[in-house]
Structure 1
Amino acid sequence: MRHAHSTYTPDELGRPLSERGFLDAHEVTGLLQNENIDHIVSSPYKRAIQTVEGLAKYVDKKIEIVDGYKERKLAEGAVENFDLAIKKVWNDFDFAWEGGESNHTAQKRGVDAIVQLIDQFNGQNIVISTHGNIMVLIMNYFDPRYDFSFWEQLTMPDIYKLTFDSTQLIDVSRIWSP
């Protein structure tokens, strides 16, 4: 899932949810509380953790922090024109802005994290709280329909259920509709 709405600060790691984000995180708990969750995994970023804290308490599961689900680093520091910068990396998967990750690099990190979870918890239900860009890059690896235009239409939060047979993606369904 993509985390709930956050209050912008330049502190990527410590950026918290907004008031609206906390309300949506509460809805996420209600939506997922009866889904037989075996594990809850999160990016190390505060907004991703906060999105699933209520769910973790409700289903009595510890949130496992996995670095592979942190958001892709677009560039070192702020970019002058975010729209141009993000389009450039999506148009050329090998391109990286100075100090940033290319789509291929970020995608490999995310996919490696997914494959590790599948190997470790095969057949179990896992909630992953992550970020929009890395989430779509992971989905794109398994199915190229999940691309830049798909990313542009995401909401905060946004939840997709991915079903795998081993490491083969067999189904994707959207389960959050704000």
Structure 2
Amino acid sequence: MSDIDLAALVRTIPNYPHAGILFRDITTLLLNGPGFAQCIAQMAASITDLPDCVAAIEARGFIFGAALAQSMGIGLVLLRKQNKLPGRVVGINYALEYGIDRIEMHDDAVRAGQQVLLVDDLIATGGTALAAVELLRGAGAVVTQSVFAIDLPDLGGGARLRAAGVAVHAQMEFAGA
């Protein structure tokens, strides 16, 4: 595995999308082939027990989830926003700062007892990740591990996931919002 400083490949955009926010832009990491490959390899190496499948959160989570699932030789479950999947779905509503959102998956995407790894590009407040865990567990899946390229620990999402019984693995941490 290379020794690339992954955090140096993440661009920070101040005051986006609102004043006071430091947006961590992973597109610059994705532009660096060796850096992206190292990130995926590190994500895979951080997983303690091989899951049956990866569940990735729309949309940037799909990038990391697909690469990780392929590297581990397992399937990929897509967790999408409302009305984006064809066929029968199950979903869950969850609170945002200023409203309600919904995340869905196909109703046959996971089986009872299946070990599922949750993947996204970034964990911030944890609202979407916790909703994803609840959705997967509601379908009978066992979710005990999650992996992210970036953790923003000051926003508490990782702590909230750990409190829900989900180990959190992140390749980088950035202080602040």
For normalisation by structure 2, the TM-score amounts to: 0.43
For normalisation by structure 1, the TM-score amounts to: 0.43
Higher normalized helix content (fraction of residues): 1
